[in-house]
Structure 1
Amino acid sequence: MDGSMSIMGRDILSVDDVEVVYPNGTRALNKTTCQFMDGEVTVLLGPSGAGKSTLLRTLNLLTQPSAGHIVTSAGQQLKSRRDIRFHRRDTAMIFQQHQLIGRLSALRNILMARLGRHSVWSSLAGFSRAEKHLALESLSRVGLFDKALTRCDSLSGGQQQRVGIARALTQEPKLILADEPIASLDPASSDRVMKILRDVCREDRIPVIVSLHQLDFAKAYADRIIGLCDGDIVFDGPPSALDNAALSRIYGAPADTTN
């Protein structure tokens, strides 16, 4: 593993000897140990099938490790349903396909992020004025305040992804995970989405962990890059350390930096 890791804050989450083997026998992640830091944009980089999404999804236990543990900053292993529920409440997830309800407005979709902080009975009473204000403020931060009452299925792909980011912010998370958030977007929309994520990390000190295919965006927006190949971490360092030798380990051949 090459490159010196850029540590900007405290350790907020650790992966401790985690392996993932799917029921069909496919080994998606070999034994992996790494730490994620407060105040960093971390990009998981690598070709398809390298293990990026698997590693990302183990961080909130959407994918269960076959071995090893996810450990919080307090040294607590995430095992019980209660601990996992609280961890997911504090961990926002942004998906490649947005995961929005198209027939609902942007505002209604964003308010769904608050359900994890409601009891069953309080959720029946609807959302508070403060929660609606928070949702509108989140929409404003991603430049979509004027689309609050617009149905999500009438928005562009880039706008829908920004609604997804606003939903994540409304969750008031301690960690944001983004799984290929710009894979289906044009370059201009991709740039805007990545800039918003970087700004959120800087302004709110919310660590952001993003899986990407696009090398140029990884170099432009990451504080730290973790490169994966065939289920192993083969690079861990700042973008400035990502030289041709590192790219060859990640991709197995010289990488196309325009993709």
Structure 2
Amino acid sequence: MLSKVRGPVRLADQVAGLLTEEIRSGRLAVGDKLPTEVELVKQLGVSRTVVREAVSQLRTAGLLEPRQGLGVFVIKPRMEPLDLSLEASETRTKVVHIVEVRRAIEAEAAALAATRVTPDDITRIRGALLAIDEAAAAGRDGVDEDLAFHRSVAEATDNPYLVATVRYLGEVMRSGIRVTRANEARRDDFIQQVRREHHAIMDAIESGDPDSAAAAARDHMRHAEERLQDAGDSFWNEAPDVPVDLDEAN
């Protein structure tokens, strides 16, 4: 039985994350039939529209497949999630590599968003930034809120393939992003620095300056890498054990 979703992150993204965790954990195995739309609505306490969008996200990610007249089934993913359950030195390398991938993609997303952003997009991005602040104030890791912010930037590009890519990478890279957030949460100056970097991306997008938006996104990822590189051995020895618990995050 799935628990009801709640919180500041978009409901469809929460449902997609919850279903993804059910699949990754094996509670929903390859070949299993997804509960019907009506059952998911009842279990999760959300609308049919939310369920349909979440299922669509997982279809795009290659985790679900609809079969005519039979329902929606779990299929073998096209790509396995990154495994961070390694020695500390290898974990450090993997997480830094994740940051490098994000830098390339999110810089282009920010630049495109700056040329195409609408007032509704601005409202969504600002709402995502507020949700990050609220998560930090409540002592939560802010992983879902951080992912929601970067998704809202991608959505402002009006490029469905880029949006799908950012959503998919967000799930694949969730563990690495959680480690990054855990490192930044150790120090208040890190938290404030990340906040300034996020707002710099937002301001450049809102001003319609693609070069500044791309630069702000690259700077954010570069500083994230520097913060990770500066983390001591004690942090990296614990990094593989940083929990990934969607129920707790939601």
TM-score, structure 1 normalization: 0.28
**TM-score, normalised by the number of residues in structure 2:** 0.29
Relative to its length, the structure with more helix (as a share) is 2
